[in-house]
Structure 1
């Protein structure tokens, strides 16, 4: 193990962060697991490192001269990718989103869109691994697949007959651009998908089935776009191969009036913020992660492979000792047959493309779990976020932070009287309420930024600027030890709209 790397890690833990001992152990253990290092070995090696280099220490402690970002610079970093959208109709009145990278480049993506030929808002958070390629492609394509699956049969037939002249979705804050040669391939795949949808649409448009159908078919196309050209022309496209060999987990919401559907693949999460009659916040965690902490998921995987593989199919809490999420899109290293891997992956990637103990593929699926919740006026917002946020705070902490943010951000808006003929006493009550709101006025208008700020710099006494500044100033190779990429979307519900929905 490289002593210089240990030194960086220990210096960061001991000098640059005000963390209690338990959190330090947790971070070290996580880092060791990700780098396939036995934790005890790390402890021994780091102890030896301190002994071997003890003579290099000066008698006086060295002053840390690292130039940290100022509070204004920290805020600028946190707000770099934030976005807000006000919506004019439906049960979602607005949403906030933001992302903060730890990897370089960031492997998280997100997308939001209104369905144009049906009703409903789609929102997705995608957490990539093994590179950003799969997450970027999925975020660009998946909402179209779902919107197409949601089309009633007559509208689908007319849409195909008219030559796909109109976009199915209206996207917001869409910055990802697909290179032209891949765009042509993806358009052809989508046309093939539309041609196959007619039989599916004959059975009606069940939202849960549409979410599943869109996810599974896009995942299948990620494979076909590599394998089909190889089988017909003997050609391997490095671009499509990089998408298929990298992976992405996904959490996608479809909100249509009071109906909330969530499709989840992997370890992102969706959490509902509900306000009780006693003005207390309740966090309802809608999703359940597909990872080694989910025993039902472990049982499913064990049941799909011979008993002789029980000790190898899940090792070190990972699929085949390598992959932490136990379901994902892409990641065809764990789905293709050994022969296909030998033909299309090994020539460009080498024999490491085939995992150890790879006997009875597929080991991985993109099959989503679908959840349904009927919204009421007590449901105030939905948080969808990658595990980078949930590693740093609990669902209840996140809900309380957004709830406090809702109360405090009232002060950002100019005072507006609710009606013309308002009494002086009512105006006085309004001013008192605004004065109370000032006490909890947040630094950020955007709730996603507010969550990220507290996730990284939060302590039991509030946000610690020193901690926040240190973590934001770390280089990506060290930063990844302390936190993952973080992507957050917070959707606010229109309580009055939901109150008037029939039960």
Structure 2
């Protein structure tokens, strides 16, 4: 499907010709491949223990939670250092994220690398206003479990990777693409099983952004509107430049609207401008996601799904897609760091502003610095002080900013090129322990 090139290549069935660094547009889940014992411990962590318990010694191994804020200020991954932070704005935190570092194949001697995932959920809380809180938390726990490597997805990813052990150290764009689609199929299977008891699950989906660094190669896969930006050193001018690596699937972008029209030429309402916002069928801003079964399979476009999510007429092919846009490129010594974030960050900070903050601040806690900068801008837009914004509780705070997830991945060129380097085994789930109580 895609092979690595010197300067990068984007693979996508619909979008072509994007220049690396051009301000553009994808969200989905992929799977880190690790040895059997570690894999089992991660899966048990999904369904039992707190994620990150085995990350390292110390009380903040899995990060710290303070009111609406969760953070892991610093840590070491196979290819360098990292910093993570999450801030909640919705009644229930819709963002999920993770960082994995270790073996990238089922063989213990396999290459080592780093995996990053940012998953921005949507749909559930709106539908769930009609449910009791306990039921909603159960639903979201189930949905998150699927997004975080459903058991079938794990098996599929391992199976796919074994077929490509001789290609790019077992990792390839094809492996990642198959993992996305396997996750989609598992999620839709879950919707079908839960349909009669929890029909609102058909309106739940997630934008998914995935990054893998292995053997000096960077893999980016995106379905939705999260974004990853590279901080690259321009030696000639001695400045750090922002290079956007992901392609976003949001109807506000003209090329996305053009794709939708080309895929649905007989549907004059495939994209609608509603309250000054472009939406697919007047319902959703993104054109690709995992989930959102009600816009992918006609069997879910009926009762008992809430009327607000149902289309007035049947459709004969999926309106949204799950296929990610994939980029594969070699990493160079000039490539200093990567900023992965949900769209909540980019609503308030430009690519270059975010890169400048990371470059100018100490690495320890830099993800929190980005959150604060975004919240300061959000407050400024509403002509209020940051200190006053911090006092606003979840739910109401969504009127000022979205849930925001940030993962900063620093790249040590001496480590990036050494796929045989055995760094620490890291497994951290962003946002663990955010109680939704208190203000931060």
Residue among 254, 270, 289 paired with 2:248: 289
The farther-off stretch of 484-493 and 356-365 is 356-365
Question: Which residue is equivalent to 1:300?
Answer: 259
Rounded to whole Å, the distance in 2 between the matches of 1:353 and 1:294 is 23
Per-residue deviation, 1:468: 1.1
Rounded to whole Å, the distance in 1 between the matches of 2:417 and 2:153 is 39
Q: Given the alignment of the two structures, is residue 362 of structure 1 paired with residue 325 of structure 2, yes or no?
A: no
The TM-score with structure 2 as length reference comes to: 0.66
Question: Which residue is equivalent to 1:126?
Answer: 119
Per-residue deviation, 1:138: 6.6
Rounded to whole Å, the distance in 1 between the matches of 2:206 and 2:190 is 17
Total equivalences in the alignment: 331
Secondary structure in structure 1 of the residue aligned to 2:117: strand
Residue among 254, 258, 273 paired with 2:231: 273
Task: Please list every run of 5 or more consecutive structure 2 residues that lacks an aligned counterpart in the other structure.
Answer: 1-63, 126-136, 420-440
Question: Which residue is equivalent to 2:182?
Answer: 217
Rounded to whole Å, the distance in 2 between the matches of 1:352 and 1:306 is 25
Residue among 434, 439, 447 paired with 2:366: 447
Residue among 279, 284, 289 paired with 1:318: 279
Secondary structure in structure 2 of the residue aligned to 1:401: helix
Rounded to whole Å, the distance in 1 between the matches of 2:316 and 2:272 is 13
Per-residue deviation, 1:493: 0.8
Give a deviation string over 1:211-266, Cα, whole Å, max 9, x none. Answer: 11111111111111232x48xxxx7342xx54442111011100113211100010
Per-residue deviation, 1:200: 6.0
Q: Given the alignment of the two structures, is residue 86 of structure 1 paired with residue 75 of structure 2, yes or no?
A: yes
Per-residue deviation, 1:297: 1.9
Rounded to whole Å, the distance in 2 between the matches of 1:402 and 1:83 is 15
Q: Given the alignment of the two structures, is residue 373 of structure 1 paired with residue 292 of structure 2, yes or no?
A: no
Per-residue deviation, 1:295: 2.4
Question: Which residue is equivalent to 2:11?
Answer: none
Per-residue deviation, 1:498: 4.8
C-alpha spacing 1:142/1:322, structure 2 compared with 1 (3 Å): closer
Rounded to whole Å, the distance in 1 between the matches of 2:214 and 2:157 is 23
Secondary structure in structure 2 of the residue aligned to 1:480: helix
Rounded to whole Å, the distance in 2 between the matches of 1:195 and 1:276 is 38
Given that residues 164 and 172 in structure 2 are in contact (C-alpha distance below 8 angstroms), is that contact kept between their aligned partners in structure 1?
no
C-alpha spacing 1:500/1:261, structure 2 compared with 1 (3 Å): closer
Rounded to whole Å, the distance in 2 between the matches of 1:452 and 1:355 is 37
Rounded to whole Å, the distance in 2 between the matches of 1:237 and 1:115 is 39
Per-residue deviation, 1:470: 1.6
Secondary structure in structure 2 of the residue aligned to 1:372: strand
Residue among 106, 111, 129 paired with 2:93: 106
Task: Please list every run of 5 or more consecutive structure 1 residues that lacks an aligned counterpart in the other structure.
Answer: 1-74, 145-185, 410-444
Q: Given the alignment of the two structures, is residue 386 of structure 1 paired with residue 351 of structure 2, yes or no?
A: no
C-alpha spacing 1:359/1:190, structure 2 compared with 1 (3 Å): closer
Greater share of residues in strand: 2
Rounded to whole Å, the distance in 1 between the matches of 2:313 and 2:145 is 34
Greater share of residues in helix: 1
Per-residue deviation, 1:488: 0.3
Q: How does 1:150-161 map to 2 (within 5 A)?
A: none
Question: Which residue is equivalent to 1:414?
Answer: none
Rounded to whole Å, the distance in 1 between the matches of 2:165 and 2:73 is 38
Task: Say which structure, 1 or 2, has more relative contact order (CA 8 Å, 6+ apart).
Answer: 2
Given that residues 68 and 88 in structure 2 are in contact (C-alpha distance below 8 angstroms), is that contact kept between their aligned partners in structure 1?
no
Given that residues 160 and 178 in structure 2 are in contact (C-alpha distance below 8 angstroms), is that contact kept between their aligned partners in structure 1?
no
Across the aligned residues of Structure 1 and Structure 2, the Cα RMSD in angstroms comes to 3.4
Given that residues 68 and 89 in structure 2 are in contact (C-alpha distance below 8 angstroms), is that contact kept between their aligned partners in structure 1?
no
C-alpha spacing 1:491/1:138, structure 2 compared with 1 (3 Å): farther
Per-residue deviation, 1:483: 1.0
Rounded to whole Å, the distance in 2 between the matches of 1:298 and 1:102 is 29
Secondary structure in structure 2 of the residue aligned to 1:455: helix
Rounded to whole Å, the distance in 2 between the matches of 1:496 and 1:327 is 36
Rounded to whole Å, the distance in 2 between the matches of 1:256 and 1:284 is 20
Given that residues 111 and 139 in structure 1 are in contact (C-alpha distance below 8 angstroms), is that contact kept between their aligned partners in structure 2?
no
